[in-house]
A and B are shown apart, each in its own frame.
Chain A
Amino acid sequence: MKAININPIVLIIVNIIAPSMYMFLSGKFIQVFLLVFAAALMALMGRFKRLAIYLLIYGAIMGIYYVTMQIKSIEATGLFLIVLVQCVPCIALASILVSKYNSAQLLSALETLHVPRVLVVAVTITLKYIPTFRREFSYITESMRLRGIGFTWKRPVKSFQYFIVPQLFRCAALAEEVTAAGLVKGIDAPMNRSSYFEEKFTFADVAVLVVFAAGLVGGIVWKHM
């Protein structure tokens, strides 16, 4: 079966609406519905490796939860994990958002929501920068290792400083580069932005949203039955 292409806006809408629905629907229902919905969406998008990882993580957390709930002394761990597991379907969809779409696609898609451009630019930059932190911190730890500096609890402020200060000034330097690149591409131009990636709503996008809405309506009916 051919993988379908989903507009990133669909994933954003689902992730924004889904957690708010916990206020109105049965918590158990939405938990199961989101698990199935996210898994089906990932399968339709052909993200099978990510789907396998997602199901594995979800299963592992639930497994640990059920085990820890049987032992009073470690029950708190289970209660922490059950909070965490609620976010796993949305985090899985958000991970697709970061890995599958580039900045230009995200910008084009977010602009169709008529969100202020400042916010669109800021969120896109933040979303794309977060996954690079592991690499950034590995550079810092490598530099610290070369200079013979290690993290020590005897001098926590100094150790914390060695980690955070290079990262802060790296952000400042990077801001100059990203701004220059953005200005060259007309990021602050007052007219509507055109893009090579015109993210139009397709039948598949509408169908996904209809299924999602139907699930939520089902949840309301379930709660009142």
Chain B
Amino acid sequence: MKMLKIKDVVMVALLTALYFVAYMVGSGVSMVFGPFGHAISPGLCGFFTGVVFYFVSRKIGKFLQFSLMQAIVMILFSIMGAGYLPWIITSMICAIIADLIASRESKPAVWKVAVASGVFHVGQALGAIIPSIFFMESYKADWVSRGQTPEHMDEMIAATTGAMGVIATVIVFALAFAGIYLGHLILRKHFEKKEAQAA
């Protein structure tokens, strides 16, 4: 199991910048689709950033690469005033699991990277689902005091609890999973060419 060196940290940082920009765009677009769009926004982001995730896995391929990526994203969101404790905790736990799945070997199978990406993004989705389940009343009252309507909050809670919460989680996983295969489709020939040159 190889650990990150300073060169890898720099590359993860630069690629996370790209991931973060794509994530911001994806989140903004998905929120327009209402409460369910908000619930599955990590999946949409996972789909479009799958190529970055795949690139990190193939170009770096070292343990804790995804945890570092997630930590940077969480710190950036916190600095921008969008940090939320349950979200940070679930995201970091799932990023470590993603590392355990796909960062213990330098070139893991594509399906392993896809599962890791699914877990990684489900961690982000749980940040919206957990407060809806465990702190429902205070969560609703707080957002209503900040300008949301009670009806919209009910829709939001409905989209992230019960069967809908499970469906949203599955969709997030599936989208993030598919994103890696999109990344593989796009980058496959580039890496094959590099490997052939190296050989």
Contacts and interface: CB of A to CB of B under 8 A. Distances in A.
Given A65-B147, A90-B81, A175-B7, A168 B55 contact: yes
A77 to B, nearest CB: 8
B136 interface: no
Interface stretch (B90-98, B99-107, B159-167, B183-191): B183-191
Interface string B103-134: 00000000000000000000000000000000
A178 B72 CA distance: 18
Interface residues of B, number: 48
Nearest to A97: B79
Nearest to A62: B147
A175 B80 contact: no
B168 interface: no
B10 A182 contact: yes
A196 interface: no
A126 B68 CA distance: 12
B57 interface: no
Contacts of B81: 15, 18-19, 34, 86-87, 89-91, 93-94
Nearest to B34: A76
Given A126-B16, A126-B72, A118 B4 contact: yes
A119 B143 CA distance: 32
Interface string A143-159: 00000000000000100
Nearest to B138: A23
A122 interface: yes
Nearest to B52: A168
Chain A facing B: main interface SS: helix
A34 to B, nearest CB: 8
Interface stretch (A24-32, A50-58, A213-221): A24-32
Interface of B: 4, 6-7, 9-18, 20-21, 31-32, 34, 51-52, 55, 59, 68, 71-72, 75-76, 78-85, 142-143, 145-149, 152, 182, 185-187, 190
Interface of A: 12, 15-16, 18-20, 22-23, 26-28, 31, 34, 65, 75-77, 79-80, 82-83, 85-87, 89-91, 93-94, 97, 118-119, 121-123, 125-127, 129-130, 133, 157, 160-161, 164-165, 167-169, 171-172, 174-176, 178-179, 182-183, 187-188
22 contacts: A12-B79, A16-B79, A19-B84, A26-B145, A27-B142, A77-B32, A87-B82, A91-B80, A118-B9, A119-B71, A121-B10, A122-B9, A122-B10, A123-B76, A126-B17, A133-B21, A157-B186, A160-B51, A161-B186, A167-B18, A175-B7, A188-B6
